[in-house]
Structure 1
Amino acid sequence: MENKLANPAPLGLLGFGMTTILLNIHNLGFFPVSAVIISMGIFYGGLAQIIAGILSFKNGKTFAGTAFVSYGFFWISLVGIWLFPNTGFEMAGTTPAPFFGCYLAIWGIFTAFMWWGTWGGSKVQQFVFLSLTILFFLLAVSKFTGSETITVIAGGLGVICGSSAFYLAMAELLEEVKNKRVLPY
């Protein structure tokens, strides 16, 4: 009997998309970082994406596995950057804004290569990775310059990016449930 594994991509995309939307509502200036974003970052953006990535690797999907595991650990590391300064450990002090900008720029470079990997595939997937690439670089520039205006612009793009991942998750999920393409992607 064949042991068919389910498609873990909708789970990973939802973990990424919903957490990205919430963080960027913060970047738009509506709410401070709180337990909502921290919890989503650890559990849904973090652990759910890592689980989806491991299952993707098991399904032979190297790109999806690399993306979900990497961005899952991005979320967990981001939460660590926020929380570790409160532990009292001297080495875990607050990250200087320019160094945080370096962190975001490295993620932007990684994401640009991942975007390249989407060429020839789904247009929505291409949009998710392109918008995420731009988002990381905008956030890096905002940290390098201290510009709140750039942070707000990044927040708007981040909501769009997260929403596009949410949409792609729903398109893939509904296609499987209905046995036909319901939403174009």
Structure 2
Amino acid sequence: MEHRLANPAPLGLMGFGMTTILLNIHNAGFFPIGSMILAMGFFYGGIAQIIAGIMEFKKGNTFGLTAFTSYGLFWLTLVVLIVLPKTGLAEPAPHAFMGWYLFLWGVFTLFMYLGTREGSPVLRFVFLSLTVLFMLLAVRDWTGSETIGTIAGFEGIICGASAFYLAMAEVLHEVRGRKILPY
């Protein structure tokens, strides 16, 4: 009897994609940050991606483990960076220092992008657009430019939507046994 593991990538991609879309609707200037974005960041962007990463470990997929677990922890740290100062337990990070935080995530993502060279075009796009997003957000925080922040927001919506699309393409492929959506 064959023991087959489910593909955890759609869970991780959806956790990343939906949360990224919502946060970047905020970055684009449509809504203030609120409990909905923070809850999505904590649970779906954070915990769900960590679960997907652990499942990738079980499958022996170092790339999936590193990507999903790291980005899940990114979402948890981002939520804490936003919420902790509101509790009075810590000072907010200065914008310039947040720029370095986002820049380092951009460098990490660039190296992860290099690991997608053999992957699907949509996966490559997710990582390339995420690299651009982190760099735009870093520049926004270093310069204080609202225009760059708005551009980053729209770019982030596209990035999140590409991960959402890839997740659904993989689910439909698994359910139908053939590619329904190209990826």
Letter in 1 for 2:61: K
Q: Aligned partners of 1:82 and 1:133: how far apart in 2?
A: 22
Unaligned runs of 5+ in 1: none
> How far off its partner does 1:120 sit?
2.0
Compute the displacement of 1:88 (Å).
1.9
Report how far residue 121 of structure 1 moved.
1.4
The offset of 1:93, in angstroms, is 0.5
Number of residues of Structure 1 aligned to a counterpart in Structure 2: 183
Q: Counterparts of 1:73 and 1:102 in 2: how far apart (Å)?
A: 17
Match in the other structure for 2:156: 158
Distance 2:8 2:118 in 1: 21
2:113 corresponding residue in structure 1: 115
Distance, in Å, in 2 between the alignment partners of 1:120 and 1:173 is 20
1:28-77 alpha-carbon deviations (Å, 9 max, x no partner): 10000001100000000000000000001101111011100000000000
Counterpart of 2:70 in structure 1 is: 70
Paired amino acid for 1:43: F
- The one-character-per-residue Cα deviations of 1:137-157 (angstroms, maximum 9, x if unpaired) are 000000000000000000010
Distance in 2 between the 1:67 and 1:131 partners? 15
| Corresponding position of 2:20 | 20
| Secondary structure class of the residue paired with 2:6 | coil
TM-score by length of 2: 0.99
Show CA shifts across 1:138-185 (max 9, x none). 000000000000000000100000000000001100000000011111
SS in 2 for 1:3: coil
AA matched with 1:124: V
Q: Secondary structure at the match of 1:2?
A: coil
* % identical equivalent positions: 64
CA distance in 1, matches of 2:150, 2:88: 31
Aligned to 2:99, which of 98, 101, 119?
A: 101
Counterpart of 1:176 (choices 160, 174, 177) is: 174
SS of equivalent to 2:162: helix
Counterpart in the other structure of 1:86: 86
2:56 corresponds to which letter in structure 1? S
Q: Choose which of 131, 137, 141 in structure 2 pairs with 1:143.
A: 141
- State how far apart, in whole Å, the 1-side matches of 2:72 and 2:176 are: 29
Q: Which amino acid aligns with 1:49?
A: Q
1:79-120 Cα distance to aligned partner (Å, 9 max, x none)? 00001112222xx10110000000000000000000000012
Partners of 1:102 and 1:38 lie apart in 2 by 21
* Two-structure CA RMSD over aligned residues (Å): 0.6
* In 2, Cα distance between equivalents of 1:25 and 1:140: 17
| AA aligned opposite 1:61 | N
Q: Which amino acid aligns with 2:57?
A: F
Distance 1:150 1:4 in 2: 46
Shift of 1:4: 1.3
* 4+ long deviations beyond 4 Å: none
